[in-house]
Amino acid sequence: MESRRLQHDDHEQALEAFLLVANLLRERIDRELQRGSGIPLAYFQILDCLSRAPERTLRMSDLASHLHASRSRLSHSITRLEERGWVERASCPTDKRGTLATLTERGLSALETASPSLVQSALQHLFAQLAPAEVQQLRALSESLAAHLFSLEDEHPLD
Amino acid sequence: MESRRLQHDDHEQALEAFLLVANLLRERIDRELQRGSGIPLAYFQILDCLSRAPERTLRMSDLASHLHASRSRLSHSITRLEERGWVERASCPTDKRGTLATLTERGLSALETASPSLVQSALQHLFAQLAPAEVQQLRALSESLAAHLFSLEDEHPLD
DNA sequence: AAAGATTGAAAGATCAATCTTG
DNA sequence: CAAGATTGATCTTTCAATCTTT
C-alpha cells in the first residue's frame, strides 16, 4: 500500500514536471519565431509540412493528420494563410470531395527566411546543456509515450 | 562537420518527438477532464493551486507565477471562474494595489468531484507502460530542461 | 450513411493600452 | 516612475451544425 502510494506520487510529479516543461518550451519557441519572423509556430509547422510534400501539395485531410490537428482548425488556419498569400487551395481532381493545399513561392520564401536561424538557435539553446545520451533518452521516452497515446486515440478517438 | 550535423539532427528529432507527445498528452488529459466533469484543464489547475494555499487564497500575482501564466490571462480566467461561483475576489488589505482570489466552497466541491477519478485514470493510463526507472528519467530530464528554460526567462522575460 | 471539408458562434489566449497605488 | 491588476480588441481554437460527394 505504501509503495503503491509512493509510485503514484512519482507519476504525478513526473507528469507535472513534464507538462510544465512542455509548456515553457512551446512558448519559448513560439516567441522566438514570432519575434524573429512574425510567423507563429502553428503556421510554421503547416508551411514546413507542405514544403516537404511532393509538389508542395497535400490534401487537407492528410495535412491535418500529419499535424495531428482537427479538420476544422486546419481549415481556419489555411484560410488565414491564404490571406497572407502563402498557401493556395485547389479542388482535388480525382475526388471531388477533396481539397488540395499548395505552398506558394511566397510561402516558401517566408518559411526559408524564418527557418534556419531561429529554430536552430532555439534548439541549441535548449539542448546545449543535455548530454548526447540524455537527448537520446528524451527521444526514446517521448516516442514510447507517443506510441501509447496513439493507441489510446484509436480506442477513443477525439473527433 | 559530419558529427556536428548528426548531432543537430538528433536534437531536432528529439525536439519533434517531445513536442508531439506533449501536445497529445495535454489534449488527452484535457478531454478526459472535460468529458468527465466539464472542467477544462486550465481551470482545474487554478482551482487546484488555490485549494493548496493557506485560507484557499492567493494574490493574483502569486497565483499567476505559480501557474506560469500571464497576469492578463489569469485575470480573464478568474472572471470566468467567478461567474461559475467557484472563486471570489477581494481587495488586499495590506496593499491596496493587490487583489486576493479565494476558492469558494462550491469551487472546492467542483474540484473534488473532478479530481480523483479522472486525473488518476489519466496517470495510470499514461504511465502504465513505463518502468519506474523510466518515470524517474522523464522527471529528471523535465526538471533539468525546466531549470534551463527558467534561466532563459530571467535573461529575456516574456511579459 | 460515411468521408472530406467548411462555416459561424462561443470560449480561450494574447497584446497593447489603461488605471490605481506604492 | 514601477508594480499590481484589469480591460477591450484581436486572434486562435473548439464545438456543433452544414454541405457535397462517395
Q: Which nucleotides of C are covered by protein (CB under 7 A)?
A: 3-9, 11-17, 20-22
Give pLDDT, residue A113. Answer: 87
The rounded distance, in Å, linking the Cα atoms of B146 and B149 is: 5
* Whether B73 CB is under 7 Å from strand D: no
Q: What is the mean pLDDT of chain A?
A: 87
Task: Determine the length of chain A.
Answer: 159
How much is the average pLDDT of A64-69?
95
Stronger pLDDT, A65 or A119, i.e. the higher one = A65
The rounded distance, in Å, linking the Cα atoms of A87 and A109 is: 12
Percent of chain B with pLDDT over 90: 52
User: Which one of A8, A141, A152 has the shortest CB-CB distance to B137?
Assistant: A141
Percent of chain A with pLDDT over 90: 51
Closest to B58 in 3D by CA, of B30, B90, B105: B90
pLDDT band, very low/low/confident/very high, at B157 (cuts 50, 70, 90): low
The rounded distance, in Å, linking the Cα atoms of B94 and B110 is: 30
The rounded distance, in Å, linking the Cα atoms of A87 and A49 is: 12
User: Which one of A31, A129, A141 has the shortest CB-CB distance to B148?
Assistant: A129
Alpha-carbon distance A93 to nearest alpha carbon in chain B (angstroms): 32
Task: Determine the length of chain B.
Answer: 159
The rounded distance, in Å, linking the Cα atoms of B85 and A17 is: 30
How much is the average pLDDT of B4-33?
81
* Whether A65 CB is under 7 Å from strand D: no
Q: Contact, B118 vs B32, CB < 8 A?
A: yes
The rounded distance, in Å, linking the Cα atoms of A110 and B69 is: 30
Residue pLDDT, tens place only, A110-153: 999 887 666 677 777 778 788 889 989 999 999 998 888 888 77
Could you tell me the three cell numbers for B126? 499514461
Residue pLDDT, tens place only, B95-153: 999 999 999 999 999 999 887 666 677 777 778 888 889 989 999 999 998 888 888 77
Question: Helix (H, G, I), strand (E, B), or coil: what is residue A84?
Answer: coil
The rounded distance, in Å, linking the Cα atoms of B74 and B43 is: 10
The residue type of B52 is R
In this structure, of A36-40, A98-102, A140-144, B94-98, the range with the lowest mean pLDDT score is A36-40
Q: Contact, A63 vs A105, CB < 8 A?
A: no
Task: Report CA-CA distances (Å) from A113 to A48, A52, A110, A126.
Answer: 12, 16, 5, 21
CB of B144 within 8 Å of any CB in chain A? Answer: yes
CB of B117 within 8 Å of any CB in chain A? Answer: no
Could you tell me the three cell numbers for B23? 501536445
Closest to A87 in 3D by CA, of A110, A62, A64: A110
Q: Which nucleotides of D are covered by protein (CB under 7 A)?
A: 3-9, 12-17, 20-22
For CA atoms B50, B52, B57, B59, the dihedral sign is negative
Distance B82 CA to C10 C1' (A): 18
pLDDT band, very low/low/confident/very high, at B3 (cuts 50, 70, 90): low
Is A156 a residue whose pLDDT tops 60? no
Q: A85: which residues sit within 8 A by CB, 6+ positions away?
A: A104, A106, A107
